Amino acid sequence: MKTYTVLLSVFFLLLFSASTIYSQDSIKVIKMTNKKTVDKNYLEGLKSNNEGLRVSCAYYLGERRSSHAVIPLMKILHSDKSPEARIIAALSLFKIGDARGIYAIKQEIKYDKSERVSNMCKIFYQMYEENQKAASKN
């Protein structure tokens, strides 16, 4: 009877261990799939005619530091009619930190027709330069 109890306990312990390992791997796969899906949905939102949706998607792509968003955000920064959308695109490009996006922000300082957008791009670019200087000191 005692042997039976020990064997049964070992069996359940192994079963529980295997299910825990399997579920952790499954969670990692689900997280990776969800990240791609979420980024894809935000990228689709950038194409919307709804300004609020476009701005929100641009903001969250910056928060997620999505490297896939650099080109679409640059397009918004250069050609969107809304100054707010251009500012959020610049902010997101700053957060992502890709060299192409940083260069686009620098260009908007000179060439954007809105003084407000130009000033915000100047702030983002100065912050980027300060971060670079601080990183090089370390």
Give the chain's domains with CATH numbers.
2-137 (1.25.10.10)
Average pLDDT over residues 68-95: 97
What is the pLDDT, as a whole number, of residue 127?
Answer: 96
Q: How far is CA 39 from CA 1, 10, 95, 101, in A?
A: 57, 44, 15, 18
Q: Has residue 68 got a pLDDT over 60?
A: yes
What is the pLDDT, as a whole number, of residue 34?
Answer: 80
pTM of the model: 0.76
What is the pLDDT, as a whole number, of residue 35?
Answer: 81
* Mean model confidence pLDDT for the chain: 86
What is the pLDDT, as a whole number, of residue 1?
Answer: 57
What is the pLDDT, as a whole number, of residue 36?
Answer: 84
